[in-house]
Structure 1
Amino acid sequence: MVRFGYTLMTEQAGPRELVRFAAEAERAGFDFEVMSDHYFPWLDEQGHAPNAWSVLGAVTQATQRVDLMTYVTCPIMRYHPAVVAQQAATVQLLSDNRFTLGLGAGENLNEHVIGRGWPPVNIRHEMLAEAIQVIGALFDGGYVNYSGKHFRVDSAKIWDQPDLRVPVATAVSGAQSVERFAPLSDAMIAVEPRAELCQGWDAVRHGESAKIGQLPVSWDPDRGTAVRRAHEQFRWFAGGWKVNAELPGPAGFAAATQFVTEDDVAENIPCGPDVAPMVAAAKPFWEAGFTHLALVQIGGEHQDGFFEFARDRLLPALNEAAN
Structure 2
Amino acid sequence: MTQIGYTMMTEQAGPRALVEHVIEAERAGFDFSVISDHSFPWLDSQGHAPYAWSVLGAAAQATSDIPLMSFVTCPTFRYHPVVTAQKAATVQLLAQGRFRLGLGSGENLNEHVVGEGWPSAHVRLDMLEEAAEIIRALFAGGYVTYHGRHFQVDDARLWDLPDPPPPLGIAVSGPRSCELAGRRADLLIATEPRRELVEAFDRHGGTGKPRVGQLPVCYDTDREAAVARAHEQFRWALGGWRLNAELPLPTGFAQATQHVRPEDVADAVPCGDDVEAVVKAARPYAEAGFTELALVQIGGAHQLPFLRWAESELLPALRAL
Shorter-chain TM-score range: over 0.9
* Other-structure match for 1:280: 280
SS at match of 2:300: coil
Report the equivalent of 2:148. 148
Is this contact kept in 2: 1:70–1:100, CA < 8 A? Answer: yes
Please list, as runs of the form range in 1=range in 2, the aligned pairs for 1:53-132 lying within 5 A after superposition.
53-132=53-132
**What TM-score results when the alignment is normalised by the length of structure 1?**
0.98
Secondary structure at the aligned position of 1:301 is classed as helix
Structure 1's unaligned 5+ residue stretches are: none
What amino acid is the match of 1:186? D
The letter for the 1-side match of 2:79 is Y
Cα distance in 2 for partners of 1:83, 1:182 equals: 24
Which AA in structure 2 matches 1:55?
Answer: V
Paired letter, 1:122:
H
Q: Which ranges of 4 or more aligned residues in structure 1 deviate by more than 6 Å? A: none
Pairwise mapping of residues 28-43 of structure 1 onto structure 2 (< 5 A)?
Answer: 28-43=28-43
Q: What CA distance in whole angstroms lies between the structure 2 residues aligned with 1:58 and 1:76?
A: 24
1:221 is matched with 221
Q: For residues 148-227 of structure 1, what are the structure 2 equivalents within 5 Å?
A: 148-205=148-205, 207-227=207-227
The residue identity in structure 2 corresponding to 1:267 is D
- 1:14 maps to a residue whose letter is G
Q: Does 1:240 align with 2:240?
A: yes
Instruction: Report matched runs for 1:271-310 at 5 Å.
Output: 271-310=271-310
Deviation at 1:61, TM superposition (A): 0.8
- Displacement of 1:181 in angstroms is 2.7
For 1:165 and 1:63, how far apart are their aligned partners in 2?
20
Q: Tell me if structure 1 keeps the 8 A contact 2:182–2:206.
A: no
Question: CA shift at 1:206, angstroms?
Answer: 6.0
Distance verdict in 2 for CA 1:216–1:206, change over 3 Å? closer
Distance in 2 of aligned mates of 1:293 and 1:131: 26
Matched AA of 1:64:
S
SS at match of 1:212: strand
Distance 1:34 1:76 in 2: 20
- TM-score using structure 2 length: 0.99
**CA RMSD, Structure 1 to Structure 2 (Å):** 0.8
What are the ranges of 5 or more consecutive residues in structure 2 without an aligned counterpart? none
Cα deviation code 1:145-186 (max 9, x no counterpart): 000000000100000011112100000111221112311110
Q: Write the letter of the residue equivalent to 1:26.
A: E
Cα distance in 1, alignment partners of residues 207 and 263 from structure 2 = 41
Give a deviation string over 1:262-282, Cα, whole Å, max 9, x none: 000000000001101000000
The 1-side partners of 2:298 and 2:128 are apart by 29
Task: State whether residues 183 and 206 of structure 2, in contact with CA within 8 Å, keep that contact through their aligned partners in structure 1.
Answer: no
Task: Calculate percent identity across the aligned residue pairs.
Answer: 60
Post-superposition Cα deviations, 1:249-291, rounded to whole Å, max 9, x if no partner, equal 1000000000000000000000001101000000000110000
CA distance in 2, matches of 1:54, 1:238: 30
Q: Which amino acid aligns with 2:269?
A: I
Aligned length, in residue pairs: 321
3-state SS of paired residue (1:303): helix
